[in-house]
Amino acid sequence: MGDTAVVAGQIFNGISVGSILLLAALGLVLSFGVMKVINMAHGEMLMVGGYLSYLTFHHAHGPLALPAAMLVSFVGATLLGAILDLTIIRHLYGRPLDTLIVTWGISLIFQQGARSLFGAIGVDVTAPQWLQNSISINHGLLAGVDLPYVRLFIIGVALVVLAVVALCIGRTRWGTMLRAVHQDREMAAALGVNTHLIDLAVFALGTGIAGLAGSVLALIAPVTPTVGQSYIVYAFLVVIVGGPGSLIGAALAALCVGLFSATAQIFTSVSLSDVFLLVAVILFIQFRPKGIVATHSRLLEDA
Amino acid sequence: MSFSSKVLVVRIKAICVLATILTIAVSTVDLRPVMAQGGGTVKVGVLQSLTGTMAISEVPVKDATIFAIDQVNAEGGVLGKKIEPVIEDGASDPAIFAQKAQKLIQEDKVVTVFGGWTSASRKAMLPVFERFHNLLWYPVQFEGNECSSNIMYSGAQPNQQILPALQWGFEKGYRKYFLLGSDYVFPRTANLILKKHIAHDGGQIVGEEYEPLGGTDFSSIITKIRLARPDVIFNTLNGDSNVSFFKQMAAAGLPPSKIPVMSFSIAEQEAKAMGTQLVTDSYAAWNYFESLNNPMNKKFLAAYHKKFPNSAMDDPMVHGYIDVLMWAAAVKKANSFDPNAVRKAATDLAWGNSVMGSIKFAPNQSLYQTAYVGKLQPDGQFSILWQSKQPLFPQPYDPQVFPGKNCVVH
B207 at interface of A, judged by CB pairs closer than 8 A: no
What radius of gyration do chain A's Cα atoms show? 20
Q: Determine the Cα–Cα distance for residues B25 and B22; give it in Å rounded to an integer.
A: 5
> How do residues A255-291 score in pLDDT, each as one tens digit?
999 999 888 988 888 889 999 999 999 999 999 888 8
> In chain A, pLDDT over 90 holds for what percent of residues?
56
Mean pLDDT (whole number) for B313-334: 96
Size of interface A-B (CB pairs under 8 A): 107
Give the residue from A191, A184, A237 showing the smallest Cα distance to A25. Answer: A237
B197-230: pLDDT as tens digits: 999 999 999 999 999 887 889 999 999 999 999 9
Backbone angles phi and psi of B136, in degrees to 5: -110, 135
Say what the pLDDT of residue B36 is: 45
Q: What percent of chain B has pLDDT over 90?
A: 74
Task: With a threshold of 0.90, tell me whether the complex ipTM lies above it.
Answer: no
Cβ-based neighbour number of residue B11 at 10 Å: 10
pLDDT higher at A120 or A279: A279
How does the average pLDDT of chain B come out, rounded?
89
pLDDT value at position B409? 84
CB contact under 8 A, A220 and B244: yes
Mean pLDDT of B336-359: 95
For A84, which DSSP code? H
Q: Point out the residue among A13, A231, A270 whose CB comes nearest to the CB of B211.
A: A270
**A225–B contact, CB cutoff 8 A:** no
Any CB–CB contact under 8 A between B223 and chain A?
Answer: yes
CB A6: neighbour CB atoms within 10 A? 18
Q: Which domain holds residue A197?
A: 3-302
Name B87's bridge partners. B46
Closest CA to A78 of A212, A273, A267, A276: A212
Q: Look at chain A and report how many structural domains it folds into.
A: 1
Is the Cβ pair B221, A265 closer than 8 Å? yes
| pLDDT of A197 over the 80 cut | yes
Give residue A295's pLDDT.
64
Asked whether residue B257 is domain-assigned, the answer is yes
Q: Is the pLDDT of residue B75 over 80?
A: yes
**For residue B139, is it within any domain?**
no
Cross-chain residue pair B226–A1, CB shorter than 8 Å: yes
Does B215 reach chain A within 8 Å, measured CB to CB?
Answer: yes
**B358: Cβ contacts below 8 Å, ≥ 6 apart:** B351, B352, B368, B370, B391
Q: How far apart are CA B169 and CA A10, in angstroms?
A: 31
Asked if B112 contacts B132 with a C-beta cutoff of 8 angstroms, the reply is no
pLDDT, residue B408, reads 84
Residue B91 lies in a domain: no
Q: What is the CATH number of the domain that holds B164?
A: 3.40.50.2300
Determine, for residues B253 and A124 on separate chains, whether the beta-carbon distance falls below 8 Å: no
Question: B179, B208, B219: which to substitute to probe chain A, counting the most A Cβ within 10 Å?
Answer: B219
CB-based contacts of B15, cutoff 8 Å, min separation 6: none
Of B214, B220, B252, the CB nearest to A146: B252
pLDDT in tens, B121-163: 999 999 999 999 999 999 999 999 999 999 999 999 999 999 9
**Nearest-angstrom CA–CA distance, B183 and B179:** 12
Look at residue B356 and tell me whether its pLDDT is greater than 80.
yes
Half-sphere exposure of B321 (CA within 13 A, CB side): 21
- Out of B211, B226, B250, name the one closest to residue A132 (CB): B250
Which residue stretches of B132-214 are H helix?
158-171, 185-200
DSSP, collapsed to helix, strand or coil, labels residue B321 as helix
Q: Using an 8 Å Cβ cutoff, are B222 and B248 in contact?
A: yes
- Please state the φ and ψ torsions of residue A245, each to the nearest 5 degrees: 95, -5
Q: Which residues of A touch B183 (CB under 8 A)?
A: 270-271
Q: Is there a contact between A151 and B219 if contact means CB atoms under 8 Å apart?
A: yes
Nearest to B252 by CA among A263, A66, A150: A150
Chain B residues near residue A143 by CB distance under 8 angstroms: none
Please say if the pLDDT value at position B393 is more than 50.
Answer: yes
Assess A144–B contact: CB distance below 8 Å, yes or no. Answer: yes
Residue B174 to residue B232: CA distance in whole angstroms: 7
pLDDT at B12 (0 to 100): 52
Residues of A in contact with B224 (CB under 8 A): 265
pLDDT (tens digit, 9 = 90+) per residue, A69-109?
999 999 999 999 999 999 999 998 778 889 999 999 999 99
State the Cα torsion A46-A50-A55-A58 to the nearest 10°: 160
CB-based contact B141:B130 (threshold 8 Å): no
**What is the domain count for chain B?**
1
The verdict on residue B190 lying in a domain is: yes
Give the CATH number for residue A50.
1.10.3470
The reported pTM is 0.83
Q: What is the pLDDT of residue B37?
A: 45
CB B132 within 8 A of CB B29: no
> B31 falls in which pLDDT band (50, 70, 90)?
very low
The pLDDT mean for chain A works out to 89
CA-CA distances (angstroms) from residue B136 to A115, B133, B229?
30, 10, 44
- pLDDT of the residue at A208: 96
d(CA B29, CA B23): 10
Give residue A94's pLDDT.
78
What is the dihedral sign for C-alpha B398, B400, B402, B407?
A: positive
CB-CB contact of B408 with B365 (8 Å) = no
Q: Are B127 and B326 in contact (CB under 8 A)?
A: no
Q: Which residue has the higher pLDDT, B299 or A295?
A: B299
Cβ–Cβ < 8 Å for B41, B81:
yes
Identify the H or E element spanning A262.
Answer: helix A247-267
pLDDT computed for residue B11 by the predictor: 54
Give CA–CA dist B163/B158, Å, rounded: 6
The chain A residue lying nearest B212, using CA atoms, is A271
User: Whole domain around residue B210: which residue ranges?
Assistant: 159-286
Give pLDDT, residue B14.
Answer: 55
Is the confidence at residue B182, as pLDDT, over 50?
Answer: yes
**Which chain A positions have a beta carbon within 8 Å of B274's beta carbon?**
122, 124, 222
